[in-house]
């Protein structure tokens, strides 16, 4: 049976990570990256690990530590402690991920590739996390950084109205024509003039990067 993939909105919401070893800190970084607040519980928690949006709790886990949490991660390296965290999460009805005992938890994390608002999540049903990371890295070569601008363009086209007479409406066909017209290569080359030409050709004369409110990032030195 496969797991059910979702993207959670956690901005400003409290999540709890129990354990501040490499695994607990990796889960913490992922949560902070999407704007969550993290209550980080660990007797070995160093000051330098605690930045903004981390509520440090420097002791072992206790009942009550999960109050207010939307998601919980147990990564203590000790099965009994992880199970105690899971029991408390179950008691208050909050989903929990057990780093060492995933089959006893409610969810797991994929390897993620991000290009701006584009996110690709790769998982192996827990079978080989290292393979998930490898596949993510293979996809990174196929999806250069400019895909973040492709997403911005697609999003702006989708929101834009009214359309120019003769210009194609937003949709799969339009997106395919832009991609077939080498949109990604033009963006990679920061060739704004030809990106505009392609946008006008496919979507109508008034459709340019500026009209869509998009400016190309500076070329790396
Ligand atoms: C079930 C799951 C639950 C969860 O933690 O969410 C889980 C469980 C376990 N991982 C283990 C080992 C490793 N995990 C990694 C790395 C990652 N693990 C991640 C996810 C997941 N790991 C979930 C399933 C995802 C899927 O379906 O594929 C990634 C993708 C995402 C993330 O953690 O954010 C992240 C890549 C981060 C990145 O590169 O971006 C590495 C590689 C490394 O560290 O470099 C190793 C060593 C190599 C290996 O074993 O493959 C062990 C054995 C522990 C032991 O033996 O001690 C268990 C427990 C078990 O399997 O029983
Ligand atoms: N799911 C995943 O992605 C992976 C999972 N693992 C597994 O995850 C577990 C954690 O791995 P590491 O971070 O390398 O371990 P670690 O031993 O470096 O860190 C464990 C942390 O938990 C803290 N801790 C221990 N007991 C606690 C308690 N009762 N309450 C609060 N904090 C407590 C420790 O002080 C330490 O900060 C291991 O069981 C490991 O096998 C390992 C690799 C990847």
Asked if residues 184 and 146 have their Cβ atoms less than 8 Å apart, the reply is: yes
221 has pLDDT over 60: no
Judge whether residue 220 has pLDDT over 70: no
Q: What is the pLDDT of residues 8-63, one digit of tens each?
A: 999 999 999 999 999 999 999 999 999 999 999 999 998 888 889 999 999 999 99
Burial (Cβ within 10 Å: 0-12, 13-18, ≥19) of residue 142: exposed
Cα(146)–Cα(217) distance, integer angstroms: 9
> Which residue minimizes the CA distance to atom 47 of ligand 1?
130
Q: Can you tell me the mean pLDDT for 116-132?
A: 97
Mean pLDDT across the chain, nearest whole number? 95
pLDDT at 55: 96
How far away, in angstroms, is 99 Cα from ligand 2 center?
8
Band of pLDDT at residue 217, cut at 50, 70 and 90: confident
Q: Does the interface predicted TM-score (ipTM) exceed 0.95?
A: yes
Compute, in angstroms, the gap from residue 192 CA to the centroid of ligand 1.
41
Query: Going by CA atoms, what residue is nearest to atom 41 of ligand 2?
Result: 100
Ligand nearest to the CA of 17: 2
Q: What does the alpha-carbon distance between residue 41 and residue 76 come to, in Å, rounded to a whole number?
A: 10
**Ligand 1 center from residue 130 Cα (angstroms):** 6
Q: Atom 29 of ligand 1 has which residue's CA nearest to it?
A: 111
| Residue 130, ligand 1, Cβ within 6 A | yes
pLDDT value, residue 167: 77
* 206, 164 Cβ separation under 8 angstroms: yes
Determine which residue's CA is closest to atom 5 belonging to ligand 2.
99
83-96 pLDDT, tens digit each: 999 999 999 999 99
Q: Residue 163: is its pLDDT beyond 70?
A: no
C-beta of residue 58 within 8 angstroms of C-beta of residue 45: yes
At residue 186, does pLDDT exceed 80? yes
Residues in the chain: 221
Using a 6 Å cutoff on CB, does residue 125 contact ligand 1?
Answer: yes
Res 65: pLDDT: 98
Residue 75 Cα to ligand 2 middle (Å): 4
Res. 191: pLDDT tops 60? yes
DSSP the chain: ----------TT-EEEEE--SHHHHHHHHHHHHTT-EEEEE-TT--GGG--TTEEEE-S---TTTTTT-SEEEE--S-HHHHHHHHHHHHHHT--EEESS-GGGSS----EEEEETTEEEEE--TTS-HHHHHHHHHHHHHHS-TTHHHHHHHHHHHHH--SPPTTSPPSSHHHHHHHHHTTHHHHHHTT-HHHHHHHHHHHH-TT--TTTTT--PPPPP-
Q: Check residue 169 and give its pLDDT.
A: 81
């Amino acid at each position: 049976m496969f797991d059910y993939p979702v993207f959670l909105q956690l901005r400003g919401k409290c999540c709890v990570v129990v354990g501040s070893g490499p695994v607990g800190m990796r889960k913490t970084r992922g949560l902070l990256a999407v704007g969550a607040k993290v209550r980080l519980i660990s007797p070995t928690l160093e000051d330098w690990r605690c930045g903004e949006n981390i509520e440090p709790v420097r002791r072992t886990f206790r009942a009550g530590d999960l109050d207010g949490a939307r998601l919980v991660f147990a990564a203590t390296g000790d099965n009994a402690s992880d199970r105690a965290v899971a029991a408390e999460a179950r008691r208050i009805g909050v989903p929990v991920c057990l780093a060492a005992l995933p089959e006893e938890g409610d969810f797991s994390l994929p390897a993620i590739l991000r290009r701006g608002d584009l996110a690709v999540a790769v998982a192996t049903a827990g079978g080989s996390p290292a393979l998930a990371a490898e596949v993510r890295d293979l996809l990174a070569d196929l999806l250069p950084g400019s895909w973040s601008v492709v997403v911005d363009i697609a999003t702006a086209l989708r929101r834009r109205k009214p359309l120019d007479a003769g210009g194609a409406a937003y949709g799969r066909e339009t997106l395919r024509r832009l991609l077939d017209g080498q949109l990604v290569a033009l963006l990679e080359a920061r060739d704004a003039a030809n990106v505009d030409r392609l946008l006008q050709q496919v979507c109508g004369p008034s459709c340019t990067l500026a009209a869509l409110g998009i400016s190309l990032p500076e070329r790396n030195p």
